[in-house]
């Protein structure tokens, strides 16, 4: 909380620094973020969404305790200090249960919030913006903002009670700090990109603040309100299947000007993936103190794995040795057999869908990397490359940036090191944007 408060205070006093949040459960991405934080002497803010991690396991199969232990194990492996890790929960609320009746969905959301805070997650994004079963406007996907604020306060009260319990057991326990509001598109990218994205209006932003503050005060959560540090807005950024909506500073001038009326609040922006370093920096300069990134990092990992596959083919096929991993074929076979993670994102002809499964900015491949068949093929890919060794000529061909680092003695010539450094190419842009490397 102290580190985040320092960043927010610095940002509000024209230092224009910020923090980026890594929203991923991929071990390579988490390790890369820790290495980046180590080099930058910054915190590693690592989050999971309510779909990724919840009391039922989410799509990662992990509950909050398991995710915390998982992140800590990666930190220990890398000698990264645990007190420099900030764990966050994103879109915590009834989102995973929104098709259920309101009372049942909210009760499950309360359990989720309690579990996250119990396990030491301190950055809590409260999101009750979605209509639930029985709500007016459910058919249109619209929820009364005052009801959303009341539900948000309800969840906050659970977080505060849980924290007070933790504090009795451990007086050093950090209090939660909160993010409120929600972005317009769905998490992970949206087809709305094809029609353009609407910047959050100043009135909608201010209504979120007013309604939520009133709901907090109504539940005697004044102290918790002092720990609300950010409001999620849409400043005009998004990505689709093969297209990125670039941030345009002029389109968000009015919105960005409004944040200056609040001494202790910044904007949090989701779906900043694939923006350029300069566009990201412009967002921070415009009051967007927290930048979220996820798919762009696993997209970089996917690019790296695909390049390793091409290297493997060059090394093995020319010797007549067909002991290949066939990783590309394996992952696509698994995706076709289990389409639930990509079918609503990719449409069209078989050829078009095959192309998108591999190269789409939605990066739905990331959901299949934990699959046993995929992991087996990936392990064989790594073993093959370590047996043969990757010659400098192929490094220059497929990993030109990493090639230079290897030649300069800055990077080990190892396939996993290449992947982590490839992810850090993206993280470097965020490090620059939030002021760690100006």
d(CA 164, CA 175): 8
List the one residue out of 291, 99, 72 whose CA is nearest residue 179.
Answer: 291
Residues 6 or more apart in contact with residue 49 via CB below 8 angstroms: 23, 58, 89, 90, 91, 187
pLDDT tens column, 191-230: 555 556 899 999 999 999 999 999 999 999 999 999 999 9
Which letter, b or e, does each residue of 277-293 get, where b requires 16 or more Cβ atoms within 10 Å of its Cβ? eebbbbbbebbbbbbbb
Which letter, b or e, does each residue of 212-240 get, where b requires 16 or more Cβ atoms within 10 Å of its Cβ? bbebbeeeebeebbebbbbbbbbbbbbbb
Per DSSP, the three-state class of 166 is: helix
d(CA 145, CA 6): 31
Task: Please name the residue ranges forming H helices in 340-438.
Answer: 350-359, 372-388, 392-398, 400-407, 415-433
- Angstrom distances, CA of residue 309 to CA of 358, 360, 412: 13, 18, 19
Per DSSP, the three-state class of 318 is: coil
125 beta partners: 179
Per DSSP, the three-state class of 20 is: strand
On the 0-12 / 13-18 / 19+ scale of CB atoms within 10 A, 72 is middle
CB 94 within 8 A of CB 126: no
Q: For the beta carbon of residue 307, count every other beta carbon within 10 angstroms.
A: 20
pTM of the model: 0.94
Residue ranges of the domains in the chain?
2-294, 299-419
d(CA 435, CA 92): 28
Query: What pLDDT tens digit does each residue of the chain (438 aa) get?
Result: 677 888 888 877 777 889 999 999 999 999 999 999 999 999 999 999 999 999 999 999 999 999 999 999 999 999 999 999 999 999 999 999 999 999 999 999 999 999 999 999 999 999 999 999 999 888 888 899 999 999 999 999 999 999 999 999 999 999 999 999 986 444 444 455 555 689 999 999 999 999 999 999 999 999 999 999 999 999 999 999 999 999 999 999 999 999 999 999 999 999 999 999 999 999 999 999 999 999 999 999 999 999 999 999 999 987 766 689 999 999 999 999 999 999 999 999 999 999 999 999 999 999 999 999 999 999 999 999 999 999 999 999 999 999 999 999 999 999 999 999 999 999 999 999 999 876
Decide yes or no: CATH 1.10.3720.10 for domain 2-294: no
Length of the chain: 438
DSSP 168-211: HH-TTPPPPEEEEE--SSPTT--GGGGT--PPPPHHHHHHHHHH
pLDDT tens column, 420-438: 999 999 999 999 999 987 6
CB 153 within 8 A of CB 221: yes
d(CA 162, CA 111): 10
Per DSSP, the three-state class of 51 is: coil
The angle, 0 to 180 degrees and rounded to 10, between the axes of the packed helices 415-433 and 400-407 is 100
Class for domain 299-419, per CATH?
A: mainly alpha
């Amino acid at each position: 909380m102290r580190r985040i408060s320092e960043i927010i205070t610095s940002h509000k006093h024209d230092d224009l620094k910020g923090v980026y949040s890594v929203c991923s459960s991929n071990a390579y991405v988490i390790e890369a973020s820790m290495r980046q934080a180590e080099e930058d002497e910054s915190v590693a803010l690592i989050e999971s969404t309510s779909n990724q991690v919840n009391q039922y396991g989410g799509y990662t199969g992990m509950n909050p305790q398991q995710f915390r232990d998982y992140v800590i194990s990666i930190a220990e492996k890398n000698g990264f200090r645990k007190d420099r890790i900030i764990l966050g929960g994103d879109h915590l609320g009834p989102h995973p249960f929104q098709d259920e009746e309101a009372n049942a969905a909210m009760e499950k959301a309360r359990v989720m919030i309690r579990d996250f805070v119990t396990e030491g997650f301190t950055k809590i994004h409260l999101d009750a913006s979605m209509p639930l079963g029985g709500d007016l406007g459910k058919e249109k996907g619209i929820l009364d903002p005052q009801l959303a604020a009341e539900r948000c306060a309800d969840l906050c009260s659970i977080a505060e009670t849980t924290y007070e319990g933790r504090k009795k057991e451990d007086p050093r326990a950090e209090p939660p700090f909160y993010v409120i509001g929600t972005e317009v598109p769905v998490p992970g990218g949206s087809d709305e990109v094809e029609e353009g994205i609407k910047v959050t209006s100043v009135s909608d932003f201010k209504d979120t603040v007013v309604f939520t503050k009133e709901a907090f005060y109504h539940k005697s959560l004044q102290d918790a309100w002092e720990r609300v540090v950010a409001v999620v807005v849409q400043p005009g950024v998004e990505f689709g299947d093969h297209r990125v909506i670039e941030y345009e500073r002029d389109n968000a001038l009015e919105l960005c000007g409004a944040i200056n009326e609040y001494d202790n609040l910044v904007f949090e922006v989701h779906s900043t993936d694939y923006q350029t370093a300069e566009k990201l920096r412009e967002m921070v300069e415009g009051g967007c103190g927290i930048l979220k990134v996820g798919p762009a990092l696993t997209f970089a990992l996917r690019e790296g794995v695909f390049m390793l596959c091409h290297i493997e083919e060059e090394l093995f096929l020319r010797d007549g040795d067909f002991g290949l991993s066939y990783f590309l074929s394996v992952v696509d076979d698994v995706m076709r057999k289990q389409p639930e993670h990509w079918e609503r994102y990719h449409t069209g002809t078989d050829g078009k869908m095959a192309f998108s499964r591999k190269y789409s900015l939605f990066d739905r491949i990331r959901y299949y990397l934990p699959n046993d068949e995929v992991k087996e093929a990936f392990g064989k890919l790594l073993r093959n490359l370590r047996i043969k060794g990757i010659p400098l000529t192929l490094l220059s061909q497929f990993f030109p940036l990493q090639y230079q680092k290897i030649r300069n003695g800055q990077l080990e010539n190892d396939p996993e090191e290449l992947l982590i450094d490839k992810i850090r190419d993206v993280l470097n842009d965020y490090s620059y944007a939030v002021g760690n490397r100006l």
